[in-house]
């Protein structure tokens, strides 16, 4: 992938307010690939059952999807995102979402995204479809 695009995406994630709020960190980025980390903090991310809120896990998925989908330097937006929540992480666990592009056409791209904890336990599995706008990412 283009080095300028790679650096621009890393910088954009560092400045993104939502990623900062959840302390997400972009760890790796390649052509159609992204790896994002986040610490599960129960005091900020629990639901009413004192377990990880699905929205917190989904946010990690979405960050990996967003960054993997922009690696060609153009804007891609979500069309569909299907998440299967497999297990709930333990407090303080470092979670990672790994997004991999599995197919791409001129207008769409499909991704498999897996969330695991620091021990490799699967937290969630996701299939996502992006619409490729063809417009350059604005922060290049």
CATH superfamily name and code, 3-136 = Hotdog Thioesterase (3.10.129.10)
Domain ranges of the chain: 3-136
How far apart CA 2 and CA 62 sit, in angstroms, is 22
How far from 2 is each of 29, 68, 73, 118, 140, CA to CA, in Å? 11, 13, 8, 30, 11
Q: Is 119 left (phi over 0), alpha (psi -120 to 50) or beta?
A: alpha
pLDDT < 70 positions in the chain: none
Q: What is the pLDDT of residue 125?
A: 98
Structure-token match 């690696």, residue found: 71
CB-CB contact of 32 with 101 (8 Å): yes
């Amino acid at each position: 992938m283009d080095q300028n695009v790679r650096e621009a995406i890393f910088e954009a994630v560092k400045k993104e307010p939502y990623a900062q709020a959840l302390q997400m960190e972009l760890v790796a980025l390649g052509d159609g690939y992204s790896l994002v980390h986040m610490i599960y903090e129960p005091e900020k991310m629990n639901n009413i059952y004192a377990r990880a809120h699905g929205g917190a896990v989904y946010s990690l998925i979405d960050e990996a999807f967003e960054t993997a989908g922009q690696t060609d330097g153009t804007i891609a937006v979500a069309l569909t995102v299907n998440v299967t929540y497999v297990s709930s992480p333990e407090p303080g666990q470092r979670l990672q979402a790994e997004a991999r592009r599995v197919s791409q056409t001129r207008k769409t791209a499909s991704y498999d995204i897996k969330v695991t904890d620091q021990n490799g336990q699967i937290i969630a599995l996701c299939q996502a479809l992006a619409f490729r706008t063809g417009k350059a990412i604005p922060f290049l």
